[in-house]
Structure 1
Amino acid sequence: MGSRIAYLLAWMTLAAGLYGCGGGGVPYQPRAEWRDQAEQACLKSGVVRASSYVQAAPRLKGPSACGLQAPLKVSGATGGRVALTPTATIGCPMTAALDRWVQNSVQPAAYRQFGTQVVEVKQIASYSCRGRNGSRRGRLSEHSFGNALDIAGFRLANGHEITVVKGWWRGTPRERAFLQEAFAGACREFYTVLGPGSDRFHYNHIHVDLLVKNASRGRHYCRPQPGRGGVPVAEAPSGDLTTTASIKPIPFVGPGED
């Protein structure tokens, strides 16, 4: 009898721990309706289409609220002209936003600073069911929904590589200006942008995501703010940048809750 009671108590303790963390050390969090709505709206719009560099993957359902209804394996942007390495697992809205950012901000910055184009974007984190900054408490990271990317560097057509960890603070003036311009463009495109200087976790990459509650009254959560804590952001050319991208912003539906 004693062993049975001990076994029952151990099982109850384990079950309570799994419930409190969402399973496997992941914070528990209900899934907001806007996530699936945004994913479906993006897919139905047709702005992101299957190709050799955007491929559909089986549904992801992790512990807690983690997962994607229709995950995409993305290995390229802007018509496949820019490689994304390694292949990222993200949702449709992030895929569309990545394309717009590369087209409207990253490439113009590369041409201004180096006279050539970016041919590769290097990322170090896409879908991953975990808490923010790896914590087992608090809120789930947007990575848990395929709604975030961590950008670590870029490669130009001439072979020149620019990394966030080296280029942001200690790079050449052109490398620093390029990263700051790309960062400022990300702040216009994504709803959350965190880079070196924002906290101790983002010293080697630029985190971008589409958490709707961080898009309020036309303003996005961006740290550090462009032009502060680093080299000044170069002024954009007069007039709006045009794009030949085949995608347009996808409006998110539902309350700004995560």
Structure 2
Amino acid sequence: MRLKTGLLALLVTVTMAQANAPYTSLRPVAREDVFPVALPTFAPDRSLRPMLRPGSAYASARPAPKQPETVRRATSTRVGRVCGDRKIQGLEIGNVPGKLPGCGIRNAVKVYEVAGVKLSTPASMNCDTAKTFKSWVEGGMARAVRPMRSEVEELKIVAGYSCRTRNHKPGAKISEHGKGKAIDIAEFRFENGEVISLIDHWGSGRKGRVLRDLHKSACGPFGTVLGPESDRHHRDHFHFDTANHRGGAYCR
């Protein structure tokens, strides 16, 4: 009897508990309005590391790339008067060493223009030779080309300073080219467009006569004058140099 009474009481208690139970779970549920399901990232769009701004003290303190030495020299030099003569336009290039004994130039200049006449290729020489060259251009050359009825505008230069032996022969003496005392001319180009070329006009007509007068006019101002009739090495150009010869100038 006591057992039945206890079971009845337990059944009543369970039934009452189920009647009073909530409709939903009492476990807390995350509310999206308080704690969003997926929090947004707070990382910045770009790095917060400091960046150099143009003109900042640190940026300006960084050394600029070095300009090549050859470029600096080229931008700092200007063609102007050399050898103390405004009619000789060029560059002072200082002492030029030679690879062979006897070669080289002291206080050399690179000449671009003499007495208003351009050189097709700048020629390196010493000042004595540059001054002799200028005097001949103004005097003997100007007189010799009068039959052309036009002034010489440019000279075609085929050689200036060159450290070598005479006519490139092994064992021969050093050429005057190797001492900065010589210049070779192959053509005379005039303002009216005409050209006198040694290879084309020597011994031929009016231009040939002008070339002979040019050859003759250089003999005296220059110590050595060689032309097409001297040897096969000079058949296409004049060779002028300021070498001193015993007994006077050597002209062929």
Q: TM-score, normalised by structure 2?
A: 0.64
Q: 2:223 aligns with which of 168, 173, 191?
A: 191
Aligned to 2:154: 120
SS of corresponding position for 1:120:
strand
AA aligned to 1:156 is F
CA offset at residue 141 of structure 1? 0.2
AA aligned to 2:250 is Y
Question: Which runs of structure 2 are paired with 1:85-104 in the superposition (5 Å)?
Answer: 85-104=120-139
CA offset at residue 116 of structure 1? 1.4
The percentage of counterpart residues that share the same residue type is 33
Is contact 1:130–1:136 with CA below 8 Å preserved after alignment?
A: no
Aligned to 2:235: 203
Aligned to 2:178: 144
Q: 1:77 aligns with which of 114, 118, 125?
A: 114
Aligned to 2:26: none
CA 1:51–1:168 in structure 2 vs 1: closer, same or farther (change >3 Å)?
closer
Q: 1:230-251 deviations in whole A, cap 9, x for unaligned?
A: xxxxxxxxxxxxxxxxxxxxxx
Question: Which runs of structure 2 are paired with 1:238-257 in the superposition (5 Å)?
Answer: none
AA aligned to 1:92 is C
RCO (CA 8 Å, sep 6+): is it higher in 1 or 2? 1
CA 1:166–1:48 in structure 2 vs 1: closer, same or farther (change >3 Å)?
farther
Is contact 2:88–2:130 with CA below 8 Å preserved after alignment?
A: no
Question: Which runs of structure 2 are paired with 1:155-234 in the superposition (5 Å)?
Answer: 155-169=189-203, 171=204, 173-212=205-244, 214=245, 216=247, 219-223=248-252
**Distance in structure 2 (CA, Å) of the matches to 1:52 and 1:131:** 28
Is contact 2:183–2:239 with CA below 8 Å preserved after alignment?
A: yes
Q: 1:165-216 deviations in whole A, cap 9, x for unaligned?
A: 11113x4x2201111111101112100011001111110001011111x253
**Distance in structure 1 (CA, Å) of the matches to 2:88 and 2:217:** 27
**Distance in structure 1 (CA, Å) of the matches to 2:88 and 2:237:** 27
**Distance in structure 2 (CA, Å) of the matches to 1:154 and 1:48:** 26
**Distance in structure 2 (CA, Å) of the matches to 1:60 and 1:200:** 30
CA offset at residue 58 of structure 1? 3.2
Aligned to 2:70: none
Is contact 1:168–1:196 with CA below 8 Å preserved after alignment?
A: yes
Coordinate RMSD, CA, aligned: 1.7
AA aligned to 1:60 is V
**Distance in structure 2 (CA, Å) of the matches to 1:100 and 1:167:** 25
After TM superposition, where is structure 1 displaced by more than 6 Å over at least 4 residues in a row?
A: none
Q: 1:20-50 deviations in whole A, cap 9, x for unaligned?
A: xxxxxxxxxxxxxxxxxxxxxxxxxx96436
Q: TM-score, normalised by structure 1?
A: 0.63
Please list every run of 5 or more consecutive structure 1 residues that lacks an aligned counterpart in the other structure.
Answer: 1-45, 224-258
Is contact 2:88–2:114 with CA below 8 Å preserved after alignment?
A: no
Q: Between Structure 1 and Structure 2, how many residues are aligned?
A: 170
SS of corresponding position for 1:101:
helix
CA offset at residue 95 of structure 1? 0.4
**Distance in structure 2 (CA, Å) of the matches to 1:50 and 1:115:** 26
